[in-house]
Amino acid sequence: MRFAIALLILCLPHCLVAVERPNVLFIAADDMNCDLSAFGNGQVLTPNLERLCKMGVRFDRAYCQQPLCGPSRASLMTGLRPDTLDMHTLKHELRQKNPDVVTLGQLFRNNGYFVARAGKIYHYGNPSQIGTDGNDDPATWDERYNPVGIDRSQQENITRYGAGRQKDKNLGISMAWWDPVSRDEEHTDGMVASKIIELIKQKKDRPFFLAAGFYNPHCPYVAPRRYFDKHPLEQVTMPDLEEAERDLADVPPMAVQRDQKNWPYFFKDVTLEQARKCKQAYYACNSFVDAQVGRLIDALQENGLMENTIIVFWSDHGYFLGEKGLWYKRKAFERSARMPLIIAAPGLAGDQVCSKPVELVDLYPTLAQLCGLKPPAGLEGASLRPLLVDPDDPGWTKPAVTQVWHNKRAWGYSLRTDRYRYTEWLEGRAGRELYDHQSDPDEVTNLADRPEQAERVARLSQQLADYVQLQPDKRQ
């Protein structure tokens, strides 16, 4: 009897810790930039993301490790940079190259959490792999769900622009849109939200890590028509192309080599008005995702879980919509490297904005610390908890580093400090870029070759050098 009582006393603190462990709702958007009212763009109303910002911290300078879905998501889910993982393409090779890596979901599974996802967290061909496990990692999850909506099952209704695209069934990179009169739940992302809501209700009495992986606003841009109606086409503006062309005059050719052949807008024969329509559709998809985020927050509230759930909203990278005449991602410019990041953690800062540079690779150590879990050794990010306590923490001085890899003869690294973006192509042999964001937030004027900037360029180059860890077979 005494032994049983003693055992109960010994176990009690651990039981209390287990009960009090916070849940995690991990929400991902695909290819979403910061054209959101939550981040200052009043044209794209995102009331639910604004609501989330009031609950937590909005990170205004958050950057991906590589502006391409596969390596960006693998990096985030492992806390390791693409060079460490040796992953720079869309190939399904996380476990092949890193068999013993402990992913973020594994860490939570190993500590007694229920861990599940619906939709896209690791890379999927979008829309080709919707409804499959794509490049998912089974060891990360207890359960996985792959819904299929009309955006995938009725692709014949999607309007496509650009020479040679009308008969092309691969819409994974396309100027394409569709605005059906439909319910949210007829679309894949509406189904993703519904499944996570179901799991919230089912698992509310035990610690959970639930990941909602939305496919929007990745092309093709498909959302119910009412979200298009929120963005009247006549109110959607496009950058002047003559000015856009001038913006690129002082940029190293390697920085835009994928975009030059059919500039502007990536595909041949895409007109200005067609690009405008795609921009409207992209905005509609952002509003559609915002509505699904609202459904998830409502579900937490309805189930009494708001006080014990950390909510993270992120995208895998940014996106161009005609700025500099460019479209899509895979560029080292701010608009491609920067993406939305919001973290709401009960008991920490609320309704705050952080302007310190942070990285997606920081999310793994952050969630481990907030949930009291011991992470694996060697993580390459840093916990954001200090910034969730004080968004202006003077002790946070770490830059953000984004890399681009096209092939072994075309690659570069970009370093973002509080004020500057500095980029080297082939370690400077193929050119450099330096932008002063205090006076030039749109990165119009490349200062790298100006004599008065030589000292700054040398200093930033030295700072960047520590992050250039590309394997020999991946470099020229």
Which residues are identified as catalytic? 69, 123
d(CA 385, CA 57): 11
Which residues neighbour 440 within 8 Å (Cβ) at sequence distance 6 or greater?
none
DSSP string of 22-54, one letter each residue:
PEEEEEEEES--S-SGGGT-TTS--HHHHHHHH
In the numeric block, which tokens belong to residue 289?
Answer: 């995702």
d(CA 393, CA 376): 26
Residue for token pair 């609950």: 55
Angle at 447 between CA 441 and CA 449, to 5 degrees: 160
Distance of CA 315 to the CA centre of its chain: 2
> Distances in Å between the alpha carbon of 7 and those of 4, 86, 111, 188?
5, 47, 21, 49
d(CA 311, CA 348): 12
> Distances in Å between the alpha carbon of 272 and those of 82, 182, 190, 280?
36, 28, 31, 12
Asked if residues 178 and 157 have their Cβ atoms less than 8 Å apart, the reply is yes
Q: What is the DSSP letter of 234?
A: G
- Residue 175: phi and psi, rounded to 5, are -100, 95
- Residue 353: phi and psi, rounded to 5, are -120, 130
Distance of CA 281 to the CA centre of its chain: 19
> Which three-class secondary structure state does DSSP give residue 177?
strand
> Distances in Å between the alpha carbon of 326 and those of 22, 257, 335?
42, 11, 10
Which residue type sits at 200? I
Pairing of strands 175-178, 159-161: antiparallel
Helix, strand, coil percentages in the chain from 3-state DSSP, rounded to 5: 40, 20, 45
In the numeric block, which tokens belong to residue 376?
Answer: 């694996």
